[in-house]
Amino acid sequence: MAAISREEVANLARLARIEMTDVELDHLATEMDVILGAVARVQEVAGAEVPPTSHPLPLTNVFRADVVTPSLTPEEALSGAPAKADQRFKVPQILGDAE
């Protein structure tokens, strides 16, 4: 596999609008070459007989089934609130004027 050149890294950095020093470009060119080599090795292993997957192990849903249970009434939920209005918590306004 051909090594990624310093000029290619500089072009990618320019396209991404990332300023890089000469030292960073040299270092990243070496790192990118290692990364691309690792990806190439993975592509060699993943043949047609290996199905694509997002996880190496099968996932199992561990959530419980939804069960309707009694909850607090509005009065109970607001009983400890420092301020309330129209069965809602009243909080200081943080955005501009309400429309």
Residue 34: enclosing H or E segment and its boundaries? helix 22-45
Burial status of residue 13 (CB atoms within 10 A of its CB: 0-12, 13-18, 19 or more): middle
CATH of the domain at 33: 1.10.20
pLDDT in tens, the chain (99 residues): 457 889 999 999 999 999 999 999 999 998 998 898 888 888 887 777 777 778 888 888 888 888 999 999 999 999 999 999 999 999 988 887 765
Structural contact between residues 67 and 59, judged by C-beta atoms closer than 8 angstroms: no
Domain-embedded: residue 10 = yes
What is the count of structural domains for the chain?
1
Domain-embedded: residue 33 = yes
* pLDDT tens column, 22-32: 999 999 998 99
Degrees, nearest 5: CA angle 62-64-65: 135
Six-digit token pair at 37?
């080599």
Domain-embedded: residue 38 = yes
User: pTM here?
Assistant: 0.42
Range of the domain at 10: 6-45
